[in-house]
Structure 1
Amino acid sequence: MKKYQLKFLTILIIAIQMGCGNSQQNSDNNSKIDSTSNQASSKKSGLIKQKITPCLWVDKDAKAVVNYYLSIFKEGKLKEYHQYKNPPQEKGQEGQDSFETAVMEIGDIEFSILAAGPYFKFNESVSFVINCKDQAEVDYYWNALTKNGGEEGSCGWCKDKYGLSWQVVPVEYFDLINSEDPKVREKAMKNTFKQKKLILSELK
């Protein structure tokens, strides 16, 4: 247990530093990271623009994870990628020689990806809401997230192939469930519990 805790702490500290020390940057970028100037250069280049950045822990292959989400969120982009060597004491049967971090931007939000082994899994206690302009957009994101290993839930909830939970919601839905007309509210809420993907026409 102590070894596991040490491994987690080591990974967390290095990941937070995001490029300091003796880490190795993406092979596509052969320049080494300067530990004394990395933080300043990151701010200067605009990599860190949010006060709070969601961090997603996955098993492996941060680039594959990013590519998956970029295939769904078409306006997104990969902003940063790093590979780190684990300390010698952390290598072993249950570990791996290295782990990866990446920063992607989807939906105008930056997400950090930490690919550091099969120690933690996503669950429904954390989810991301996609505010969709119309039913066509709801259909697109729902279908994209639930195919190839994703999973449909109920009331507009679904999981992608990594097990991350999403709420795919047409923005008009909030007007319905918060309407001043009790009949409108009741119909929308009642029909919500009958649906998996939200069908706006059936909620009105």
Structure 2
Amino acid sequence: MSAITPCLWFDTQGEEAARYWVSLFPSSSITSVQLWGPENPERQGTPLMVEFVLDGRPFSALNGGPEFTFSEAFSLQVDCADQAEVDRYWDAFVGDGGQESDCGWCKDKYGFSWQVVPRILTELLADPDPGVVSRAMQAMLTMKRLDVATFERVAAGR
């Protein structure tokens, strides 16, 4: 079976971003770094391709130049067990030069988009009671960083 590996395009910060992300997630590591060779004298000896694993999943970072940048059209969702996990990831992404957005979305200092989502929200949005789903959705639409206590209250109908 073929493997699918997301490849993220950077100008020059691929290795830096990979090392930063690997420091945040368990079961993560840099697996290889290939350098530019003489075919690109301006970048020779600097990272070209970085292979890394985030939480057990393979990724690549390509330092291909400034032609392309990230957009919200592609993001990674972080499934968080509780508020402490939400806060840890949110603070890491936003607090270190990133930018918060609505509904649990944020960008890190590299401009990459993340969705930091507590597991309770996923559960509430799949609830068979349409009232619970509606209250959870309405609550989410008012937030930037998602708040577990608020979701617990709306689940209880308060």
Root-mean-square deviation (Å): 1.8
The 4+ residue runs of structure 1 with deviation greater than 4 A are none
TM-score for both structures, normalised by structure 2: 0.87
Structure 1, gaps ≥5 residues long = 1-48
Q: Take 1:159 and 1:61, find their aligned partners in 2: how far apart are those partners? A: 15
Q: Which of 123, 129, 136 lines up with 2:77 in the alignment? A: 129
Alignment-derived partner of residue 54 in structure 1: 6
Give the Å deviation of 1:62. Answer: 3.3
Give a deviation string over 1:129-181, Cα, whole Å, max 9, x none: 11111111111111111122111010010101111111111112111112111
Unaligned runs of 5+ in 2: none
- Corresponding residue for 2:144? 196
Choose the corresponding residue for 1:76, options 22, 25, 28.
28
Q: Partner of 2:103: helix, strand, or coil?
A: coil
Counting only pairs closer than 5 Å after superposition, residues 11-160 of structure 1 correspond to structure 2 as: 51-85=3-37, 87=39, 96-98=42-44, 100-160=48-108
Per the normalisation by structure 1, the TM-score is: 0.68
Secondary structure in 2 aligned to 1:128? strand
CA positional deviation for 1:118: 1.3
Structure 2 counterpart SS, 1:185: helix
> 1:192 touches 1:198 (CA, 8 Å); kept in 2?
yes
In 2, Cα distance between equivalents of 1:63 and 1:50: 25
Q: Which has the larger radius of gyration?
A: 1
CA contact (8 A) 1:156 1:198 kept: yes
What letter corresponds to residue 116 of structure 1 in structure 2? Answer: G
Determine which structure has greater relative contact order: mean sequence separation of CA pairs < 8 Å that are 6+ residues apart, divided by chain length.
2
One-letter amino acid matched to 1:129: Q
The aligned counterpart of 1:31 is none
Amino acid at match of 1:165: S
Percent of matched pairs sharing the same residue: 37
* SS of equivalent residue, structure 2 residue 123: helix
SS in 2 for 1:174: helix
